[in-house]
Amino acid sequence: MTALSADVVRHVAELTKIHLTAAEIERFADQLSAVLAYADQLQEIDTDHIPVTAAAPLYNVMRADEVQPSLPLADVLANAPDHDGHAFRVHAVLVD
Q: In this predicted model, what pLDDT tens digit does every residue of 82-93 receive, in sequence order?
A: 999 889 998 888
Mean pLDDT across the chain: 88
pLDDT reported for residue 11:
95
Question: pTM of the predicted model, to two decimals?
Answer: 0.48
How many residues does the structure list for the chain? 96
Closest CA to 25 of 43, 10, 12: 10
What does the pLDDT look like over 24-69, one tens digit per residue? 999 999 999 999 999 999 999 998 888 776 566 677 888 889 999 9
Enumerate the domain spans of the chain: 6-43
Euclidean distance between CA atoms 41 and 35, whole angstroms? 10
Using 50, 70 and 90 to split pLDDT, how confident is the model at 17?
A: very high
Residue 42: Cβ-neighbour burial (10 angstroms; 0-12, 13-18, 19+)? exposed
Q: How far is CA 61 from CA 43, 57, 84, 86, 88, in A?
A: 30, 11, 39, 35, 33
Considering the domain 6-43 in this protein, what is its CATH number?
1.10.20
